[in-house]
Amino acid sequence: MAAHPRAIERVIEPTPVIEGAGVRLRRSIATATLDYLDPFLLLDNFQSDDPDDYLAGFPWHPHRGIETVTYMLAGEVDHRDSIGNAGMIGAGDVQWMTAGGGIMHEEMPRPGGDGRMGGFQLWVNLPAELKMTRPRYQDLGAARIPEVRRADGSVIRVVAGEVDGVTGAVTEIYAEPAYLDVALPAGASFSQPVPPGHSAFAYAFEGEGQFGVGSDPDGARLVAPRMAVFGDGDEVRVEARGHALRFLLVSGKPLGEPIARYGPFVMNTREELQLALRDLQNDTFVWRDDAEWAQARRTWSPDAWSR
Ligand code: FE2
């Protein structure tokens, strides 16, 4: 069957925002321009040589109903959370956190040895059936993220998904995501199958290149930092003409569910948001594996009640 290359539907210029306790970011999803790219709820790019831009960090805050994905290019983020995890995410590492029914955590960036800081945070929506699931982490050091090296000099880090038969480091995610960090030398071409119907975007963060080549014969030129949202099709084609290029290619299965969002909570209805706020006030927000409750849930049923 002939390939159906995806065209670029929109080019998004990142919006500068200040988030957390005063961190300067570039935001491309969750803005007035692009509110939601189902199942992706937010994309932030932090990139700075000035510690004043990020040292205030993200002190303790909750999440519910989503996954947050932190991928570092430079510098470090110290993190700890309400289910007992604590550690550091460094350059090349990824942390795929499924907040599920409720987590509180703290994310504090600091510069690496070279004083630089850079990376991405992506929010991936969870379907109704998993919004209140047990929180889970996939914390993967740089060495555990496979790198595919092609003959033309391209290097593709496979955070999630599959490239040339190599499976990514992060697996078992509902959205069946691909999350690739693609570095192309000048003159290289890249094509990657993306399942029809899945949402897909590229975020150019170094250099420039042609995106969406094939459908619209020449595609569109993206100069970093820019994001391209692809239309439907079964593959993505990119060419690094005249310049080296580095970009993220991310895709995932849309949920097609109603969303109700309020800051770090993303649920299906307003009532569920109100419950999240009430749970925070009542100190019942955080997901707990409480043996007594588990026993109660096993033994109690509506049938038993009606008798
Ligand atoms: Fe967070």
User: What is the per-residue pLDDT across 122-137, written as a single tens digit (0 to 9) for each?
Assistant: 999 999 999 999 999 8
**Cα of 223 from ligand 1 centre, angstroms:** 29
Record the pTM. 0.92
> Which residues lie across from 220 on neighbouring strands?
211
Q: What is the pLDDT of residue 289?
A: 57
pLDDT tier at 282 (50, 70, 90 boundaries)? confident
d(CA 23, CA 189) in angstroms, rounded, equals 35
219: pLDDT strictly greater than 50:
yes
40: pLDDT strictly greater than 80:
yes
Please tell me the least confidently modeled range out of 131-145, 149-163, 222-236, 279-293: 279-293
**Cα of 8 from ligand 1 centre, angstroms:** 30
Q: What is the pLDDT of residue 99?
A: 95
Q: How many CA atoms lie within 13 A of 258 on its CB side?
A: 7
**Cα of 72 from ligand 1 centre, angstroms:** 14
**Cα of 106 from ligand 1 centre, angstroms:** 7
- Residue 12, number of CB atoms within 10 A of its CB: 21
Would you say 212 and 6 are in contact if contact means Cβ atoms under 8 Å apart? yes
| pLDDT tens-digit readout, 175-217 | 999 999 999 999 999 999 999 999 999 999 999 999 999 987 7
**Cα of 230 from ligand 1 centre, angstroms:** 27
- Nearest-CA neighbor of 227 among 3, 4, 9? 9
d(CA 65, CA 38) in angstroms, rounded, equals 14
d(CA 204, CA 47) in angstroms, rounded, equals 13
**Span 51-62, average pLDDT:** 89
Instruction: Give the CATH fold of the 8-252 domain.
Output: Jelly Rolls (2.60.120)
**Cα of 68 from ligand 1 centre, angstroms:** 7
How far from each other are the two terminal CA atoms of the chain, in whole angstroms? 61
**Cα of 192 from ligand 1 centre, angstroms:** 30
304: pLDDT strictly greater than 80:
no
